[in-house]
Amino acid sequence: MGIVKMPSYRDYWKKDLRYHLIADVMSLKRYEQIRQFLHFVDNTQQNDDRYFKVRPIFEVIRQNCLKIEEEHRYSVDEMMVPYKGTRAGNRRQYMAKKPKKWGFKIFVRAGVSGCVYDFIPYAGEDTFRNHYFTEYENSLGVGAKVVIALCQSIQHKPAVVYFDNFFSSLELIHLLRQEYGIFSLGTIRENRLRGCQEKLPSDKELIKKGRGSSKQIVHDSF
């Protein structure tokens, strides 16, 4: 069903649309029974995990991702799992710049090949369940903690991680290199430059110099 998509799951059993690779496996009635009663956990248990009902299968998938032979260059970013329903409450997110704007937001570490090696489902204050940080790492903010959590599972180093300005800060880049042996590169917001902007030309000045102009500043105190 994930490969051969139809408007409704019942279409796979319709006479004029029947898809035998699915319809021959079981009857529509049997499929609907399984679909109705399928659970991954005991619903009578009490748990404050916002992904309690799907956490077991999340973790199985994640552990399989971690077993894949690693690359040495990765990107960290948000990924949307499309969902337009209303039963997910505030777990459903809206991201205007994504191709699929409504759905579940998942932070992902992927390789150059596009293969996913680790991920964290966004859950508000409960996003970092089962992840542990030092006091200093906690002080760096949510974006930095996402990168740190996803980089903690990198086994083969040295490695390089790329990320955008939501995650990036000078403190994070320094921490990854000193504490985790990971090099990183990312765009950065002006309010996180810690005074570097005073030594850099303004946007207007760079525009006047023409396309491709750049300025480099090196700091060796780290």
In this predicted model, what pLDDT tens digit does every residue of 61-116 receive, in sequence order? 999 999 999 999 999 999 998 888 877 777 888 888 788 888 989 999 999 999 99
Residue spans per domain, the chain: 1-38, 55-209
175-199 tens-digit pLDDT:
999 999 999 999 988 888 888 888 8
- Alpha-carbon distance 139 to 145, whole Å? 9
Instruction: Identify the pLDDT of residue 53.
Output: 84
Are 23 and 30 spatial neighbours (Cβ–Cβ below 8 Å)? no
Q: How far apart are CA 218 and CA 34, in angstroms?
A: 61
pLDDT in tens, 208-218: 998 888 888 88
The answer to whether 51 touches 123, Cβ cutoff 8 Å, is yes
Q: What is the mean pLDDT of residues 27-55?
A: 87
Q: Which residue has the higher pLDDT, 53 or 111?
A: 111
pLDDT at 130: 86
User: What single DSSP character describes residue 124?
Assistant: G
Q: What is the pLDDT of residue 3?
A: 87
Are the C-beta atoms of residues 167 and 147 closer than 8 Å to each other?
Answer: yes
Q: Residue 54: what pLDDT?
A: 85
Pairwise CA distance, residues 53 & 43, whole Å: 8
Distance (Å) of CA 19 to CA 33, 35, 168: 19, 18, 48
Q: Is the pLDDT of residue 222 over 60?
A: no
pLDDT digits (tens, 9 = 90+) for 1-38: 888 999 999 999 999 999 999 999 999 999 999 998 88
Reference 113, options 74, 166, 153; nearest CA is 74
Please report the pLDDT score of residue 86 as a whole number: 75
Q: What is the pLDDT of residue 138?
A: 92
* pLDDT at position 221: 65
State the pLDDT at residue 74.
96
